[in-house]
Amino acid sequence: MGHEFETVNDITVTATPEQVWQAIATGPGIDSWFMGRNEVEPGEGGKAVMEMEGMAMESTITAWEPNSHFAFRSAAGEDGTFHAFEYLVEGRDQGSTTVRLVHSGFLGQDDWEWEYDALRKGDPMYFATLREYLTHFLGRFATPVAAWAAPQPDEETAWAGVKRGLGITGEVTAGTPVKFTFAGQTVEGIVDSALYPSFLGVRTSDALYRFVGGQGMIGVGHHIFADVDAKQATDEWKSWLTNLFA
């Protein structure tokens, strides 16, 4: 039997409501912090489409009030499953803006607990990435890159491999320095988000690197703010993950 759900997340950023709107309600903006490739047809009744791993997920825009209110909802599946996202944006004093995300819907699968746990962890993860984007990469748009490693025996093995690959020893906390080699180049940055053991975020001068995992699975969902070929970058990250666990 299915289950209704709702999660609420809030952030305060130093961006303007107009800049926040660009990030949450346009395709290039969403590409720069969320998952997949995105397109948004402006206006209530328009379509919001996310393409990921060859699949397109389409939603209908249910609220369109530029710079303040954006909402969309997917069609219900055969089991009744649907997802609705609502963003509320409010300008504050001294140039800051609050952003609230309400994610609600219905999970129709019998094992809804697993899916609910994933989104309960995932929503704060993506909102943390939105905060980093609005704080450090305003006016820039990213190329999204996603790849998965082969399943590992357990969660501990998977995350130990990621830490090893990133040159991290000891406890992982926000501000931890990171230095690793990728495609023959040295990459340096800091941990910006550590929602451990589900998520590890690394920020450099030209990328938001995102590592996600659970139950022995590890994947990357990066946002590269540089001139890169998406397919080549994806292939290189697949090789990085393969070599990491060879």
207-214: strand order across its sheet: 143-148, 217-224, 207-214, 199-203, 185-195, 177-182
Q: Give the pLDDT confidence score for residue 43 in this predicted structure.
A: 98
Q: Give the pLDDT confidence score for residue 122 in this predicted structure.
A: 87
Report the CATH number at residue 109.
3.30.530.20
Domain end marker among 121, 136, 151: 136
Shared domain for 14 and 120, answered yes or no, is: yes
Which residues face 220 on adjacent strands? 147, 211
Residue 29 has pLDDT above 90, yes or no: yes
Shared domain for 44 and 111, answered yes or no, is: yes
Q: What is the CA radius of gyration of the chain?
A: 18
Q: How confident is the model at residue 148 (pLDDT cuts 50, 70, 90)?
A: very high
What tens digit of pLDDT does each residue of 52-106 get?
877 899 999 999 999 999 999 999 999 999 999 999 999 998 889 999 999 999 9
Tokens linked to 101: 């995300």
Domain end marker among 98, 115, 136: 136
Residue 1 has pLDDT above 80, yes or no: no
**How high does pLDDT run on average in the chain?**
94
Is residue 199 within 8 Å of residue 210, measured between CB atoms?
Answer: yes
What tens digit of pLDDT does each residue of 165-175 get?
999 988 899 99
Tokens linked to 194: 């550590």
Residue 197 has pLDDT above 80, yes or no: no
Q: How confident is the model at residue 31 (pLDDT cuts 50, 70, 90)?
A: very high
Mean pLDDT for the stretch of residues 180-191:
96
Strands (DSSP E) contained in 118-241 are 143-148, 177-182, 185-195, 199-203, 207-214, 217-224
CA-CA distance, 61 to 84, in Å (whole number)? Answer: 10
Give me the number of domains the chain comprises: 2
pTM: 0.93
Mean pLDDT for the stretch of residues 143-165:
94
The residue that leads in pLDDT, 118 or 33, is 33
Residue 129 has pLDDT above 80, yes or no: yes
Domain end marker among 94, 121, 136: 136
Query: Range of 30's domain?
Result: 3-136
Residue that has been written with the tokens 């206006």 in this structure? 43
